[in-house]
């Protein structure tokens, strides 16, 4: 089964397509291969597909983890040409057309085929991770938000900070527990800061005896000139105003130069005591791209060919956050869910074309617009000609997100949770779990 893919497949066994990553790109590619004459193996480190646009709601205790995730093998149970495997791919041998999994028996390993899996065609859709711009040590004190584990860790830190403030007798130490710094003014940072402000001002009201949670200081720190820089300037200004109305201190044009357990340092000498720092400032591509030994862009993404294959490796495709590709307008395709879905679907189309001996079409990104939410009844929507802000944008955002959430039950329960949260300002997932998580050392 290690023959080169040919223009006209004449093999008795179908080609084996391996897809790494069960995010939007990988899952959409898998589904689009449902009727293709191939065997598909979908490999993911976890067991679930995650609806990442709502991850901040898990981090801020509005939703529980299973509300926004579904087991991959459950989603794909009806697609008979797919095998779902949980495993951690650590290297790609392009010459031998083989993947290598993590060694030993730690969770996430696979003993499958003695730790390897061979492929005929490969799609790498392992996405991105946090980037600390060379300051990897910051990860400990400023967790980022990519996985469910990250979200539960951030939730634990936010809820614990208020608990520690309540138990703290010293006013200076207490103020540091009640100061939250969100680094990065993109959609995730804006969502986190806005929701944090709501939690402090509304959700926790009347529940503490020694502190006033509404006195919490929430800072949104952005190195660039404005928040939501991928949106038109007018919407950035509206988002900033919405955040300020919620009580968030928005600071733009400030560079974070140091982060530790006590807080952040801005520029040369402005030190802010904040026991909770959240990182929403940068992403880097999955390190798996490096084993391809092809040119990568500044953040480690693969420059792909127009059909999303890897130049020099016609049997390997890259899709989603790991690929760097330009849309028809010449601008880079953004790292958002709709783009990942479109790329995944395109790779399936390219594979089917190759099976049929036809040339693969070029990927065309269809930009359906850009949404962000800020807090209760505040959001911004950019659909090109149509721009919305405020409550209308929020309702648009809500409808779009519930519509796209996978699985009937999830949609219903999320809707109930939100309706309840909306009327009562309550957040139903305010439960601290996982006190002993290794990577987020308690402080």
Catalytic residues: 191
**Cβ density class 163-193: b for 16+ within 10 Å, e for less:** ebbbebeeeeebbbbbbbbbbbbbbbbbbbb
Q: Could you tell me which residues are beta bridge partners of residue 352? A: none
Say whether residue 412 binds a second copy (CB under 8 A).
Answer: yes
| Closest to a second copy by CB, 82 or 219 | 82
Query: Applying CB under 8 A, which of residues 10, 134, 171, 206 lies at the interface with a second copy?
Result: 206
Question: Does residue 19 touch a second copy according to CB under 8 A?
Answer: no
Q: For residue 96, give Cα distances in angstroms to 24, 91, 118, 286, 353.
A: 28, 12, 8, 22, 24
Q: Which of 40, 336 has the CB closer to a second copy?
A: 40
Is 443 a binding residue for a second copy by CB under 8 A? The answer is: yes
The residue range among 40-48, 131-139, 235-243, 378-386 that interacts with a second copy, by the rule CB under 8 A, is: 40-48
Examine residue 413 and tell whether it contacts a second copy (CB under 8 A): yes
CB–CB of 151/51 below 8 Å? Answer: no
State the binding string over 129-148 for a second copy (x if CB under 8 A, else -): -------------------x
Min dist. Cβ of residue 419 to a second copy (A): 10
Candidate segments 208-216, 232-240, 243-251, 277-285, binder of a second copy by CB under 8 A: 208-216
Contact between 107 and a second copy by CB under 8 A: the answer reads yes
CA dihedral for 237, 238, 244, 249, sign (positive or negative) = negative
Q: Please choose, out of 57-65, 123-131, 289-297, 330-338, the segment that lies near a second copy by the rule CB under 8 A.
A: 57-65
Structure letter (DSSP) for residue 141? T
Q: Taking a C-beta distance cutoff of 8 angstroms, is the pair 140, 134 a contact?
A: no
Using CB under 8 A as the binding rule, whether residue 105 contacts a second copy is answered as: yes
- Residue from 114, 298, 366, 385 touching a second copy (CB under 8 A): that is 114
First-last CA distance in the chain:
52
For residue 144, the Cα-to-chain-centroid distance in whole angstroms is 10
Contacting residue, 4, 8, 35, 169, with a second copy by CB under 8 A: 169
Alpha-carbon gap, residue 192 to 174, rounded angstroms: 21
Report if residue 86 touches a second copy, rule: CB under 8 A. yes
Residue 423 and residue 402: Cα distance in Å, rounded?
A: 18
**Strand ranges (DSSP E) for 60-144?**
69-71, 82-86, 89-93, 98-101, 116-118, 121-124, 128-130
> In whole angstroms, how close is the CB of 146 to a second copy at the nearest point?
13
| Binding string, residues 336-355; x marks residues near a second copy by CB under 8 A | --------------------
Q: Which is nearer to a second copy, 164 or 401 (CB)?
A: 164
- Which one of residues 6, 11, 77, 368 is an interface residue with a second copy (CB under 8 A)? 77
The distance of closest approach from Cβ of residue 200 to a second copy in the complex, given in angstroms and rounded to an integer, is 14
- Return the residue matching tokens 């996405």: 127
Half-sphere exposure (Cβ direction) of 219: Cα atoms closer than 13 Å = 26
Window 278-337: residues binding a second copy (CB under 8 A)? none
Can you spell out the DSSP letters for 335-375?
Answer: SSHHHHHHHHHHHHHHHHHHHTTPPPPPP------EEEEEE
Say how far apart CA 86 and CA 21 lie, in whole Å. Answer: 10
> Nearest distance from residue 88's CB to a second copy, in Å?
10
Using CB under 8 A as the criterion, which residues of the chain lie in contact with a second copy when the complex forms? 46-48, 61, 64-67, 69, 71, 73-74, 77-78, 82-87, 105-108, 110-114, 148-149, 152, 156, 159-160, 163-164, 166-170, 173, 206-210, 409-410, 412-413, 416-417, 420, 426, 428-439, 442-443
């Amino acid at each position: 089964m290690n023959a080169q893919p040919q223009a006209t497949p004449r093999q008795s066994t179908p080609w084996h397509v391996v897809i790494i990553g069960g995010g939007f790109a990988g899952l959409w590619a898998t589904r689009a291969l449902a009727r293709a004459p191939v065997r598909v193996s979908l490999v993911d480190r976890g067991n679930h597909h995650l609806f990442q646009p709502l991850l901040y709601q898990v981090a801020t205790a509005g939703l529980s983890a299973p509300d926004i995730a579904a087991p991959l093998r459950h989603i794909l149970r009806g697609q008979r040409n797919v095998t779902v495997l949980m495993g951690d791919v650590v290297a790609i041998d392009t010459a031998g057309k083989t993947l290598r999994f993590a060694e030993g028996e730690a969770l996430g390993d696979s003993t499958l085929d003695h730790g390897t899996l061979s492929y005929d065609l490969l799609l790498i859709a392992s996405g991105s991770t946090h980037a600390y711009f060379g300051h990897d040590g910051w990860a400990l004190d400023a967790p980022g938000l990519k996985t469910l584990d990250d979200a539960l860790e951030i939730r634990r830190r936010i809820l614990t900070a208020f608990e520690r403030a309540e138990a703290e007798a010293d006013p200076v130490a207490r103020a540091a527990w009640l100061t939250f710094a969100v680094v990065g003014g993109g959609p995730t940072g804006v969502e986190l800061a806005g929701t944090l402000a709501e939690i402090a001002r509304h959700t926790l009201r009347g529940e503490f005896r020694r502190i006033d949670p509404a006195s919490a200081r929430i800072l949104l720190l952005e190195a660039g000139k404005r928040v939501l820089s991928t949106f038109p300037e007018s919407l950035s200004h509206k988002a900033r105003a919405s955040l300020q109305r919620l009580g968030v201190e928005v600071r733009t044009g400030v560079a974070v130069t140091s982060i530790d357990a006590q807080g952040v340092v801005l520029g040369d000498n402005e030190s802010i005591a904040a026991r909770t720092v959240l990182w929403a400032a940068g992403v880097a591509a999955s390190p798996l791209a490096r084993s391809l030994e092809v040119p990568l862009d500044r953040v480690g993404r693969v420059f792909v060919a127009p059909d999303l294959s890897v130049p020099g490796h016609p049997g390997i495709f890259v899709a989603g956050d790991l690929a760097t590709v330009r849309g028809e307008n010449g601008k880079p395709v953004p790292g958002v869910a709709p783009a990942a879905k479109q790329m995944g679907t395109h790779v399936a189309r390219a594979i089917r074309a190759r099976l049929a001996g036809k040339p693969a079409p070029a990927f065309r990104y269809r930009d359906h617009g850009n949404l962000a939410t800020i807090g209760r009844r505040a959001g911004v929507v950019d659909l090109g000609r149509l721009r919305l802000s405020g409550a209308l944008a929020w309702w648009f955002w809500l409808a779009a997100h519930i519509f796209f959430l996978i699985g009937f039950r999830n949609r219903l329960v999320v809707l109930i949770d939100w309706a309840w949260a909306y009327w009562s300002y309550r957040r139903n997932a305010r439960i601290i779990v996982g006190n002993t998580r290794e990577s987020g050392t308690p402080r």
